[in-house]
Amino acid sequence: MEVELYKEYTARVVPALKTKHGYANPHQVPRVNKVVINTSIGSSPDTKEALEIAVRELQTITGQTPVRTLSKKSISNFKLRKDQPIGAKVTLRGRNMYEFLERLIKTALPKIRDFRGISPKAFDGQGNYTLGVTDQSIFPEIELDKIKRNIGFDVTIVTTARTDEEAKSLLGELGMPFTDRTKPAAKQA
């Protein structure tokens, strides 16, 4: 069974991007390479418990076991030692990646209160997009009554696009709800 978002990519997005950008070969059309979800527990008083909660929540959301991330250097002001566990990350590819993107775009983002779209300015100049999620409760897999602490994380969508414009049109065609900042502000009476 294929994921709906991947079917949509092959059937509709590839031909649309070929005509929009004038690609001669279908292999030139940008695609999503991987999705990296990263979280940090910060300066929590009970770092061990906070890290366990973060790992469990990431595993529930993504369906994959997260890798714990370690600090690279010691910073005394933050009471941080080198090689201390400070977060977790998951790298999604293939089917899991498309399933996660489909849930993010069609279910999770619309659940955000007063959601008007995501910023079209969060591209890194190389065709990758990073989105910050402040609360894990927007995902349908999370049971609201079992949340002990809010966990925010970054979702980085890595594409094969060469420019931000190509990446934005790829993600836009996949259904990413960007805010349209090109419209002039409404005149007030």
Within 13 Å and on the Cβ side, how many CA atoms surround 52?
A: 5
Q: What's residue 90's pLDDT?
A: 92
Q: What is the distance between the alpha carbons of residues 44 and 86, in angstroms, rounded to a whole number? A: 10
Residue 96 lies in a domain: yes
Q: Using CB atoms within 10 A of its CB, is residue 50 exposed (0-12), middle (13-18) or buried (19+)?
A: buried
32, 6 in Cβ contact below 8 A? Answer: no
Specify if 85 maps to a domain: yes
Residue 108, domain member (yes or no): yes
Instruction: Answer whether residue 111 is part of any domain.
Output: yes
CATH of the domain at 140: 3.30.1440.10
Is residue 98 situated within a structural domain? yes
Which position has the token pair 């609360």?
Answer: 135
Give the bridge partners for 149, in sequence order: none
pLDDT digit string (tens) for the chain, length 189 residues: 477 888 888 888 888 988 888 888 888 889 899 999 998 886 666 777 878 888 888 888 888 898 887 777 777 766 667 777 778 899 999 889 889 888 888 888 777 777 788 888 888 888 898 988 887 777 777 766 676 777 888 889 999 988 888 888 888 888 888 887 555 444 444
* Domain extent at residue 54: 32-123+133-159+166-174
Question: Is the pTM higher than 0.85?
Answer: no
Burial 16-31 (b: 16+ CB within 10 A, else e): ebeeebeeeeeeebbb
